[in-house]
Amino acid sequence: MSTPPALRPPEGPAYARVVGVGGYRPSRVVPNEEIARRIDSSDRWIRDRSGIAERRWATEEESVALMGAAAAEKALAHAGVTADRIGCVLVATSTHFRQLPALAADIAHRVGTTQAAAFDLSAACAGFTHALAVAHDMVRGGSAGHVLVVATERMSDLIDHDDRATAFLFGDGAGAVVVGPCATPAMGPVVWGSDGSQGGAIDQSASWLDLRDGVPERFPALTMQGQTVFRWAVYEMARVARRALEDAGVDAADLDAFIPHQANLRIVDALATALRLPAQVAVARDIVHTGNTSAASIPLAIENMLAGGTVRSGGLALTIGFGAGLSYAAQVITLP
């Protein structure tokens, strides 16, 4: 049998970086008082447990596709990259309630890409950081010249609005980044993983299939074991964050910003303390006015910090996403 011909491998640039960011925040602001009345609580009780003062909830017209496309268009404009240069669109979401077609294909069409690959990625609150790592490897591997990463969520559709443990935590919104080639290292190695033994810590009350048979009586909703998630996030994610710094060859003092998933202000502050961040390192606390927007929280926080002058373009940021699975991904990036 003859020897098969050698295949030509894909060729890509030596390095990749985030070159643009954009966000979309729904128009409706929901203060704590509005939620507190329904769950027999108070503004102070909610602030003490989460740090949240208000969050945004999408109107009926503000779909995950609309919000995601709006954030994507801002990211493209910030990057100075036209839609026809996008080779792939990755969408991270847990709140697109159609099994097919992929939301990514819809968003790719809305922003005007021509023949970009498009697919969804599901890793709950860690979805953005997983998609970012995949985009980095796609650019370096030569699979796409530029990758558009979109995280878009309508968590208000997934929560039980009568659940005193979770009703106040979540918000809606979308964030996006463009990842493209560059001449120097601008993204460190990803540190990621999962622990399926704790899958019940953040779960869904019922399967969608149960609805077909008329059970359960209520719409399936997110459930969470708050103390379990808190302990895991603070202790285990601090170790993951330290590994991401070590693998990137930098110290905490080299950072301009620490941008973790905006799960809970107490978790954000506990992680910052555990990492012993110097005072000059800006810590994202977007959750105070945005709530927990799941996969969208990190790109929304990046956009907010850059727009407000809290951090500078070209500075280093440690990002870490964590959530249902339980799953996590951390990476040091250069800010766009």
Residue 309 DSSP label: T
Instruction: Please pick, among 125, 136, 146, 304, the residue that the annotation labels catalytic.
Output: 125
**Which residues, at least 6 apart from 242, have a Cβ–Cβ distance to it below 8 Å?**
275
Instruction: Please pick, among 32, 261, 264, 304, the residue that the annotation labels catalytic.
Output: 261
- Token pair of 106, please? 């819809």
Rounded distance between C-alpha atoms, residue 19 and residue 121, angstroms: 21
CA nearest to 128, candidates 316, 298, 286 = 298
| Dihedral sign of CA atoms 321, 180, 154, 213 in order | negative
Rounded distance between C-alpha atoms, residue 155 and residue 165, angstroms: 15
- Is 261 catalytic? The answer is yes
160 within 8 A of 305, measured Cβ to Cβ: no
- Is 88 catalytic? The answer is no
**Residues in the chain, overall count:** 336
Three state DSSP letters for 87-127: CEEEEECCCCCCCCCCHHHHHHHHHCCCCCEEEEECCHHHH
- Is 32 catalytic? The answer is no
Rounded distance between C-alpha atoms, residue 186 and residue 316, angstroms: 9
Residues marked active site are found at 125, 261, 292
